[in-house]
Chain A
């Protein structure tokens, strides 16, 4: 029996190759993701192990709570340094401070990477080998108040050399420095894309407004004193008020954070890989069904000569296992190439990642192998079961076909899966909770399964409908294409279902993205009142000095700078905005539900209505707020406002915010220009007034909406590109199904050729069939995608995404693109069909 299976595999190499291709692609994505994340993990771990190699103990201010987005700590008094140095076993201890500092390039433009921060800090120690994680490449450490050391990447990219003048933006306007040295971050040119500016300690303290204090103290142990011993002695000497960690602990902490971040990244990629494999499983199931149908007589013959049902079933499953194993092994190989490709793809979307030699761990081989093989075997179970239903007599009968499983049962099972899927999806969307994302995923999965199961029932009429213009206007090839697509609804529908999944997701993302854009426009236009908006280029915002400078401009009516920071309220970390409430009232349209805005001018808190409702607060309540780097405060609620997207949920009076946070960078500065000024004059005045701050960008409302829309589109592009694999696999499915069914229809095509159908007509017949199947898949997909989009927008109405915008033209263009892709998918099968030997139809086997 095994021999028969192997023989069947070898005699159908092409078929095997096409089936395998869909698995290879999905598996390679999985393997590629693992290789990429292992590689990045190893790169960062090596980097930080290296970087902290010289530090035995590290002292920082103790954080009240941790936050993924923010990391603010209380500072250390400079006097602590002497206390630490006096501890027995300390060879040396050096303090340093840090902050944000951006370079200005030779054209006067701020150098701000997309995403990574602009890090500034002090050179700790006096020698060439600082305790902080940089290594000198050229020049020397900063030795005067105008010296700065630059990272090698910035130096190379922007053409700076030791001795060059360079502008640096810290708190205030641009200041001039001299490049005294060029450093790497450990062995890397920079820290994962961040720029590094290193100053003398006193200079840095002055720049970052940290005179007399330190952010960290790095301690080096004397020989023979372990990190743990030294840690204990230091804690004994300075008390538990501070965070005292060993070098190993700090390395682990940093690498853990990075791994957590990379974890999200690889989960995101694995989701796309899972989608690709899910689509691939349809192709596999379909191929094996066709194989079983084509081998009916052969299987019957095996049964007639005494093979048991079990043997027939296992022969199919063994074929699937071998196919799965071979394809998965190839997939792992391709995956390594994919890892390189993904790096490039992300780089194309400005997500720069450090490069290192590829790490191929056991996980990257075992998991994709197991997953790929399992998916193949599971997908072939149903066809294998059908194979066991072939009765031995079928060997004797011409044209026997295995009866298709009861339509009613499929319909019921499909409906149940669909309803269940919708319920789970809506529960995930509206129920909230921690596993909302998994519920949504499971719901979508069930919906796809349900529709795919029901598809054979609806595919017939639908394909007939879609095919009718083909039948009417495209003569006999169109007519035959329509008939062929309707003839085997199960096959047509499972081919189309594979495409349906990809199109549904692309359609959903498209609807979601345009709804976000439309909602943004509506909200910004409805709830704001600003003329110009000032933003930083990175995530860190820009110095508060920009707000002061803006307020000096005579053409300005009001300028409100929004700072933000984390706070723990009622045990939950929330974002707090700090703003001059008087100015904020000018640039935003606040609708007060209770209390008044003006009451929070000097102190207190303003809360949004949904948040106040959720917490059960009213005006006059006092709530306890905790901060990362300062003591807890009691704040009184002075007012409750209707939801406003730019205001967020909490606004703290500016004086209070300045007390509670050391970080005062502004994220958004909204400006209202004086009444009666023409926009261009006002804008020119603001641009002139902020000329000293090259790190900020000034946009009017329209430009702001455009650039927000562009950001949404960029994400849409990235997601669509990642879904591209699932779409490609779906089209391979169309190629595969058509090629196999042409094999099945050899005699029919021969007959058509014999009675006068030209090769061209045969090609067109196959082409239109592919187009009908592709359009069917696209239409089904868009219906589901529209449902997903609708459900998502309904669920997010509270988050400010309240406009459901369906971009009909784009969606219709997807159907047209699917049809064109169908033409492409048909090229190879159509060529094969047109070459069918005419005599094959005529000669009786």
Chain B
């Protein structure tokens, strides 16, 4: 533990320091992250915003253990990801991290319920009934559990994906544009669910979005530009976010 740091990583659901990510080599190299320091407190709902290509997805992938950073450290639940081998990293993703992607979150051949249970099945664990009921009630799709993804609407599919992400009680859930493909009604469904899971179940969520309205559901908004964190905003409102973004995107 370096003395220069203000807080130890153990206090946070996830944290990153000096995070850099470079794609490619030589003159064609792209620096997607240029030194990012960020912490996510347990039970906090964080939105990440920024122009296209600013490195939001790359940051999420590095934080979630889906990609290896070129430099810097990432901690999840106090575990240093950069030192983990593939096997341990896979297990960490399985047990400590939840995901909601923009699209293709569900296995088409399985029912909604089986999809929700997938991380537990992979781990060979049994679900806790009470937790299962609570999650299912929160997403409000109890009557749709036996349906295949193709029989659900886009919003319902994303709620199922969110339920799956919560099922294993991960330390943190990453959602990369979870409402990117949805209309405003469906977006509201999904965002409402995410918010509720933070409020009622104490879940930690990090969400990337381009939509100021979606970001306003979060407790805090982090602005990213050109691989740097350029601004932060607590208790955001859609108008406040829009205002801030105008300044950033010049």
Taking Cβ atoms with an 8 Å cutoff, the residues of A that contact B are 475-476, 479-480, 483-484, 486-487, 747-748, 751-759, 761, 838-839, 841-844
Q: Is the CB of A755 within 8 A of B93?
A: yes
CB of B223 closer than 8 Å to a CB of A: no
- Provide the bound-state CA to CA distance between A844 and B95, in Å: 25
Interface residues as binary, B93-131 with A (CB distance below 8 Å gives 1, 0 otherwise): 111000101111101111000000011011110000000
A459 to chain B, nearest CB (A): 15
Q: Is the CB of A487 within 8 A of B109?
A: yes
Q: A843-B57, A844-B103 are in contact. Are A755 and B164 (CB under 8 A)?
A: yes
Taking Cβ atoms with an 8 Å cutoff, the residues of B that contact A are 57, 61, 66-67, 86-87, 90-91, 93-95, 99, 101-105, 107-110, 118-119, 121-124, 164, 176
Can you spell out 9 A-B residue pairs with CB atoms less than 8 angstroms apart?
A476-B121, A476-B124, A748-B108, A751-B105, A755-B119, A756-B95, A758-B91, A759-B86, A842-B99
Q: Is the CB of A842 within 8 A of B121?
A: no
Contact partners of B91 in chain A: CB under 8 A: 756, 758
A66 to chain B, nearest CB (A): 67
Q: A842-B61, A844-B102, A844-B103 are in contact. Are A755 and B86 (CB under 8 A)?
A: no
Contact partners of A844 in chain B: CB under 8 A: 102-104
Chain B residue, CB-CB nearest to A760:
B87
Q: Is the CB of B87 within 8 A of A483?
A: no
Chain B residue, CB-CB nearest to A756:
B94
- Provide the bound-state CA to CA distance between A841 and B61, in Å: 12
- Provide the bound-state CA to CA distance between A822 and B176, in Å: 39
Chain B residue, CB-CB nearest to A479:
B121
Chain A residue, CB-CB nearest to B103:
A844
Q: A748-B107, A842-B66 are in contact. Are A755 and B122 (CB under 8 A)?
A: yes
From B87, B95, B99, B102, give the contact of A758 (CB < 8 A): B87
- Provide the bound-state CA to CA distance between A747 and B94, in Å: 17
- Provide the bound-state CA to CA distance between A480 and B118, in Å: 10
Chain B residue, CB-CB nearest to A748:
B107
Q: Is the CB of A475 within 8 A of B95?
A: no
- Provide the bound-state CA to CA distance between A839 and B118, in Å: 19
Q: Is the CB of B124 within 8 A of A475?
A: yes
Closest 8 CB pairs of A and B: A756-B94, A476-B121, A483-B109, A756-B93, A758-B90, A487-B109, A757-B122, A476-B122
Chain B residue, CB-CB nearest to A843:
B57
Q: Is the CB of B109 within 8 A of A756?
A: no
Q: A747-B104, A755-B93, A844-B102 are in contact. Are A839 and B66 (CB under 8 A)?
A: yes
Q: Is the CB of B107 within 8 A of A757?
A: no
Contact partners of B164 in chain A: CB under 8 A: 755
Q: Is the CB of A756 within 8 A of B57?
A: no
From A486, A755, A843, give the contact of B118 (CB < 8 A): A755
Contact partners of A755 in chain B: CB under 8 A: 93-94, 99, 118-119, 122, 164
A-B contact count (CB 8 A): 71
Q: Is the CB of B66 within 8 A of A754?
A: yes
- Scoring A475, A755, A842, A844 by chain B CB atoms within 10 A of each residue's CB, the highest score goes to A755
A483 to chain B, nearest CB (A): 4
B143 to chain A, nearest CB (A): 23
- Provide the bound-state CA to CA distance between A841 and B124, in Å: 23
Contact partners of B95 in chain A: CB under 8 A: 756
Contact partners of B66 in chain A: CB under 8 A: 754, 838-839, 842
Q: Is the CB of A751 within 8 A of B107?
A: yes
Q: Is the CB of B104 within 8 A of A841?
A: yes
- Provide the bound-state CA to CA distance between A759 and B91, in Å: 11
Q: Is the CB of A761 within 8 A of B122?
A: yes
Contact partners of A752 in chain B: CB under 8 A: 107, 118, 122
Contact partners of A753 in chain B: CB under 8 A: 90
B117 to chain A, nearest CB (A): 10
- Provide the bound-state CA to CA distance between A751 and B93, in Å: 11
Contact partners of B103 in chain A: CB under 8 A: 844
Contact partners of B108 in chain A: CB under 8 A: 748
Contact partners of B119 in chain A: CB under 8 A: 755-756
B206 to chain A, nearest CB (A): 14
- Provide the bound-state CA to CA distance between A753 and B176, in Å: 17
- Provide the bound-state CA to CA distance between A487 and B110, in Å: 10
A108 to chain B, nearest CB (A): 70
Q: Is the CB of A842 within 8 A of B176?
A: yes
A23 to chain B, nearest CB (A): 32
Contact partners of A838 in chain B: CB under 8 A: 66-67
5 more CB-based (< 8 A) A-B contacts, given A755-B118, A842-B66, A843-B57:
A754-B93, A755-B119, A756-B119, A759-B87, A844-B103
Chain A residue, CB-CB nearest to B67:
A839
B145 to chain A, nearest CB (A): 17
Q: Is the CB of B122 within 8 A of A842?
A: no
Chain A residue, CB-CB nearest to B106:
A751
Q: Is the CB of B110 within 8 A of A483?
A: yes
Q: Is the CB of A756 within 8 A of B122?
A: yes
Q: Is the CB of A484 within 8 A of B121?
A: no
Contact partners of A484 in chain B: CB under 8 A: 109
Contact partners of B124 in chain A: CB under 8 A: 475-476
Q: Is the CB of B99 within 8 A of A754?
A: yes
Chain B residue, CB-CB nearest to A484:
B109
A669 to chain B, nearest CB (A): 69
B90 to chain A, nearest CB (A): 5
A486 to chain B, nearest CB (A): 8
A773 to chain B, nearest CB (A): 16
B122 to chain A, nearest CB (A): 5
Chain A residue, CB-CB nearest to B124:
A475
A200 to chain B, nearest CB (A): 86
Contact partners of B101 in chain A: CB under 8 A: 751, 841-842
- Provide the bound-state CA to CA distance between A136 and B103, in Å: 87
- Provide the bound-state CA to CA distance between A752 and B67, in Å: 15
A607 to chain B, nearest CB (A): 68
- Provide the bound-state CA to CA distance between A479 and B121, in Å: 10
- Scoring B91, B102, B109 by chain A CB atoms within 10 A of each residue's CB, the highest score goes to B109
Chain B residue, CB-CB nearest to A758:
B90
- Provide the bound-state CA to CA distance between A386 and B94, in Å: 40
- Provide the bound-state CA to CA distance between A606 and B240, in Å: 115
A758 to chain B, nearest CB (A): 5
B17 to chain A, nearest CB (A): 23
Q: A487-B109, A841-B104, A844-B103 are in contact. Are A757 and B90 (CB under 8 A)?
A: yes
- Scoring B61, B90, B94, B103 by chain A CB atoms within 10 A of each residue's CB, the highest score goes to B90
B33 to chain A, nearest CB (A): 15
Contact partners of B102 in chain A: CB under 8 A: 844
Contact partners of B90 in chain A: CB under 8 A: 753, 756-759
Chain A residue, CB-CB nearest to B165:
A755
Chain A residue, CB-CB nearest to B90:
A758
B167 to chain A, nearest CB (A): 10
Q: Is the CB of A751 within 8 A of B104?
A: yes
Contact partners of A747 in chain B: CB under 8 A: 104
- Provide the bound-state CA to CA distance between A686 and B109, in Å: 75
- Provide the bound-state CA to CA distance between A475 and B94, in Å: 16
- Provide the bound-state CA to CA distance between A751 and B86, in Å: 15
Contact partners of B61 in chain A: CB under 8 A: 839, 842
Contact partners of A758 in chain B: CB under 8 A: 87, 90-91
B153 to chain A, nearest CB (A): 15
Contact partners of B176 in chain A: CB under 8 A: 842
Contact partners of A841 in chain B: CB under 8 A: 101, 104
- Scoring A476, A759, A842 by chain B CB atoms within 10 A of each residue's CB, the highest score goes to A842
- Provide the bound-state CA to CA distance between A745 and B101, in Å: 17
